[in-house]
Amino acid sequence: MNKFTTLSGIAAPLPLINIDTDMIIPKQFLKTIKRSGLGVNLFDEMRYDDDRNEIPDFVLNKPQYRDAQILVAGDNFGCGSSREHAPWAIADFGITCVIAPSYADIFYNNCFKNGILPIALPQEQVDVLMKDAEKGANARIEVDLEAQTITSSDGEVFSFEVDSFKKHCLMNGLDDIGLTMEKAASIDSFEASASQARPWV
Amino acid sequence: MSPKTLYDKIWDAHVAHEADDGTCLLYIDRHLVHEVTSPQAFEGLRMTGRTVRRPDQTIAVPDHNVPTTLDRANAATMTEDSRVQVAALDTNAKEFGLHYYPVSDVRQGIVHIVGPEQGWTLPGMTVVCGDSHTATHGAFGSLAHGIGTSEVEHVLATQTLIQKKSKNMKVEITGKLPAGVTAKDITMTVIGETGTAGGTGYVIEYCGEAIRDLSMEGRMTVCNMAIEGGARAGLIAPDEKTYEYCMGRPHAPKGAQWEAALAWWKTLYSDDDAHWDKVITIKAEDIAPAVTWGTSPEDVLPITAKVPAASDFKGGKVDAAKRSIEYMGLTEGMALTDIEIDTVFIGSCTNGRIEDLRAAAAILKGKKIKEGMRAMIVPGSGLVRAQAEEEGLADIFKEAGFEWRLAGCSMCLAMNPDQLAPGERCAATSNRNFEGRQGRGGRTHLMSPAMAAAAAITGRLTDVREMM
């Protein structure tokens, strides 16, 4: 997995609440058996018309946001299905940090498995960063995972919370299956005692 | 011992390792797998030389992509990419030695219907699947939730998940449901109340007289949509109905093992003085047949209501409501019963079980659907389909003008050929009304099977109580 330590990038504003996983990556793109290549279909139905032409008004089609690395969005981002294709598409586009007031649970967890840092901030702070993002390519937002801070283009600093284990894995690009396998003895002994206690399982 | 909730008890029984910061390895009893969210996980195992730790606890069934038309044995009914995905599951299930229900097996169906039907889902278990509607299995008092593909790979390799504990929320539905009001109306009304983010960070336990009165199938409908309220999982404590449902199913315990299981299952309830981080109480008598008007499952109203004005809302919801009303092609203030529909979809892991079909058949018996209406019933499994045929329900549907399909997810998420065209408007018994969910530009109104059947007859959203 790609590491995430610091990021200084253009932020794209998407001021909608309840952005769901069907919006992020519509179902017709879930038929892939790979993890890569979904960036071109990120927000597909908002990004392209019926003839597959770009819709110029959509934020990621605007020249100043084509290289965005951060997305600033509304409440409950990533609600809906468990499809990891959503963070795959976001990462494949080049976005590695999302800032929103809140996230759906499964999407939030999926981000950390794919080198994406989802940051939850109070609405007022998201509002400030949304305005910052609306300034376009000249307004770079800085994210420092180690320090757990975001710095707006005006130098305003916001702190954010992140689970210590998730932070550790993200900063070091760790494969958590490998980490869990180091605890195989615990799993073995749990399995042995559980099969005694609940043999019908 | 300090009092515990049902969630606390199941959690405690499954912690294989706890780190100092509270990060746990939660042992998984049953892992359900379907074709869409698993190929990359199996590929990951191959690339790292890992294998499936417990193939005996891993159950695979294709459901999302499979056509539901009667000619689906003909490969031409599937697009190439769908065929590849189903073939990949086929290969992975055989290569790794999983329990497998292929398309040709009469037991094939939607993974969340097959699991309980075959007795894989039992009280007190941990159940996961790369699918958000895994919440369904919580109806048995099992801790069940959706996971992403990386976590699918993690469970395949280690039979555990890295988890931190969620908070406890109690949703109590007191009293008796009025006539014509169903489990679907309960679960939709709860989401209307809490919002789609109201459950974020929580595991919900549904309780109260109206929940106890529900059948196991109704309870599955309630728990199925816990995820639409943002909760990690929904739970209902097991009781006599649960035990009766499980007894005798192919993978349920038997004999002395059954007795041992039962003794443990009877300890699975929330203690009287357990701590709840949040409590919501709704009177069953206040619940009416519910429909959605917008593009979020929280956009719920009783069928007797009117389409709201965007200005009725606050904050970010004002713009969201404006967008929804425009997408849905509605007018603020119009009666919901004036909304005309052209498509009806009855099925899905929310409402594709035999009782759902019986409820629809009770409304449709001796009636015809409106001329020009496209209406389909997609049973949740091959066994549900067989039972509906045996009970004569299939004849009622066909005589009414419904298409009678084979089992699969179908138009719930439109990954197979069952889709809405732009502008088409569907009365659906599924779980999500997102923009484009049932097909680009398609418009979805969620409701119960009886309500969807009523809408098929009248051609508009209809209060089913007027037809009873």
Out of A130-139, B90-99, B146-155, pick the least confident. A130-139
Which ipTM did the prediction report?
0.95
Q: Which amino acid belongs to residue B439?
A: G
User: How far, in Å, CA of B89 to CA of B464, rounded?
Assistant: 41
Closest chain A residue to B298 measured between Cα atoms?
A18
Q: What is the DSSP letter of A61?
A: G
How much is the pLDDT for B385?
Answer: 98
Could B37 and A84 be called an inter-chain contact, meaning their C-beta atoms sit closer than 8 Å?
yes
DSSP reduced 3-state for A191: helix
Closest chain B residue to A81 measured between Cα atoms?
B132
User: What is the pairing mode between strands A97-100 and A70-73?
Assistant: parallel
Give the pTM. 0.97
Of A74, A163, A187, nearest to B316 by CB-CB distance is A74
Q: Is the pLDDT of residue B418 over 90?
A: yes
Could A80 and B434 be called an inter-chain contact, meaning their C-beta atoms sit closer than 8 Å?
yes
Could A31 and B84 be called an inter-chain contact, meaning their C-beta atoms sit closer than 8 Å?
yes
Closest chain B residue to A187 measured between Cα atoms?
B16
How much is the pLDDT for B463?
Answer: 98
User: How far, in Å, CA of B340 to CA of B245, rounded?
Assistant: 39
Order of all β-strands in the sheet with A117-120: A117-120, A97-100, A70-73, A6-14, A140-144, A149-151, A157-159
Enumerate the residues of chain A whose CB falls inside 8 A of the CB of residue B15: 190
Radius of gyration of chain A (CA): 19
Closest chain B residue to A17 measured between Cα atoms?
B316
**Residue B383: what are its φ and ψ, rounded to 5°?**
-75, -35
How much is the pLDDT for B203?
Answer: 98
Cα A10–chain centre separation: 15
How much is the pLDDT for A138?
Answer: 84
Q: Is the pLDDT of residue B160 over 80?
A: yes
How much is the pLDDT for A117?
Answer: 98
Token pair of B148, please?
A: 């992403």
Could A16 and B122 be called an inter-chain contact, meaning their C-beta atoms sit closer than 8 Å?
no
pLDDT tier for residue B23 given thresholds of 50, 70 and 90 = very high
Token pair of B49, please?
A: 């030389």
Distance from CA of B252 to the nearest CA of A (A): 8
Of B25, B81, B434, nearest to A31 by CB-CB distance is B81
The angle at the Cα of A80, spanning B142 to A44, to the nearest 5 degrees, equals: 150
What are the tens digits of pLDDT across the range A72-131? 999 999 999 999 999 999 999 999 999 999 999 999 999 999 999 999 999 999 999 999
Q: How many Cβ pairs within 8 Å bridge chains A and B?
A: 195
Q: Is the pLDDT of residue B286 over 80?
A: yes
User: How far, in Å, CA of B146 to CA of B351, rounded?
Assistant: 18
Could B432 and A26 be called an inter-chain contact, meaning their C-beta atoms sit closer than 8 Å?
no
What percent of chain B is predicted at pLDDT more than 90? 99
What are the tens digits of pLDDT across the range A170-191? 999 998 999 999 999 999 999 9
Contact (Cβ atoms closer than 8 angstroms) between residue A54 and residue A44: no
Could A177 and B153 be called an inter-chain contact, meaning their C-beta atoms sit closer than 8 Å?
yes
A73-90: burial string, b at 16+ Cβ within 10 Å, e else: bbbbbbbbbbbbbbbbbb
User: How far, in Å, CA of B43 to CA of B45, rounded?
Assistant: 5
User: How far, in Å, CA of B176 to CA of B26, rounded?
Assistant: 37
Contact (Cβ atoms closer than 8 angstroms) between residue B247 and residue B139: no
Task: Specify the long-range contacts of residues A32-37, CB closer than 8 Å, at least 24 apart.
Answer: A32/A85, A32/B81, A33/B39, A33/B40, A33/B43, A33/B84, A33/B85, A33/B88, A34/B40, A35/A84, A35/A88, A35/B40, A35/B149, A36/A88, A36/A92, A37/A92
What are the tens digits of pLDDT across the range A22-49? 999 999 999 999 999 999 999 999 999 9
Closest chain B residue to A50 measured between Cα atoms?
B440
